[in-house]
Amino acid sequence: MVDEKTSTRALTGSRRLNKSIPRLSVDYDAGTGMWDAPQPGAKAWLPAPGLFSSWYVEDYLDTSGYTRDELTTVPRAIYTQQAGRVNFQDPGNTRLIVFDMVLTERLTDITGFCNEFIATNASIPGFPTSSYDWSQVMYGRYRQYIGVNQAATVQDVLGLVQDDAFGSLEATTADKLWTYKIVMLLGLPATLGVAALNVPPSRIILDVDIVKEADLEFMMRQKRSYELTNY
């Protein structure tokens, strides 16, 4: 006879979850003063509403099956894989900002996030200037790129000058783990012709344990999640 209190339909144990993100390739046309829509193959990328040169990919990992079986997702490691050139013709004084994040709650205002970060270096989820609690930000990575100079000539390669990590790796009973890649380009190309920005494809990887907690622990985790969702 099956013990309903201890059996689960979804298996417990170690899991490797991942979410792939296509490359971003966008063209700037000085004739119109606008950025074109992302090129074919990068349809997951969307422009941040109302902003000139910010794009994002929003997706999620479905963990509702674990939650329905009263199981808890416990992250052991979360990281980003990326290989390829980050390049932009005639970058001039431009800077490229890249965020990768995994949240237990949806980032509801991409434009507000970008605007506040650009204006005040604030609103980063999980920090005091944000409305998101630290436990709701499982993983975050912030990178900044600038143009590389060689022999007094500006090249099309953008070099990494800052690479920071943040996040709680907090256990969760959320139904969805929201994944984000947000790109902000500050400034204009040096040569006002047709220029293209290219960010290579990447992947967010989560190594997690799916565990069965005691009923009280699970219920308190669910209660806390509900309180943060409705804060």
- The pLDDT tens digits of the residues spanning 120-159 come to 888 899 898 888 888 899 999 999 998 887 766 667 888 8
Residue 1 pLDDT: 42
In a domain, 16, yes or no: no
Total count of domains within the chain:
1
Helix (H, G, I), strand (E, B) or coil at 126: coil
55-112 pLDDT tens trace: 999 999 999 999 889 899 999 999 999 999 898 877 777 889 999 999 999 998 999 9
The pairs formed by 223-229 with CB atoms below 8 angstroms and a separation of 24 or more are 224/135, 225/104, 225/172, 225/173, 225/174, 228/105, 228/133, 228/135, 228/136, 229/105
Tell whether 69 is covered by a domain.
Answer: yes
Question: Residue 88 to residues 66, 95, 157, 208: CA-CA distances in angstroms?
Answer: 42, 10, 6, 36
Is 200 part of a structural domain of the chain?
Answer: yes
Q: Please check whether residue 18 lies inside any domain of the structure.
A: no
Query: DSSP string covering 55-122, please?
Result: EEEEEEEE-HHHHHTT-EEEEEEEEEEE-S--EESS-TT-EEEEEEEEESS----HHHHHHHHHHHS-
Does 14 reside within a domain?
no
Q: Considering Cα of 15, then 80, then 53, then 200, what sign does the dihedral take?
A: negative
Q: Is residue 10 part of a domain?
A: no
pTM of the model: 0.88
- Integer Cα distance of 142 and 160 in angstroms: 11
Assigned domain for 4 exists? no
Residue 7 in domain: no
Domain of 133, in residue numbers: 25-229
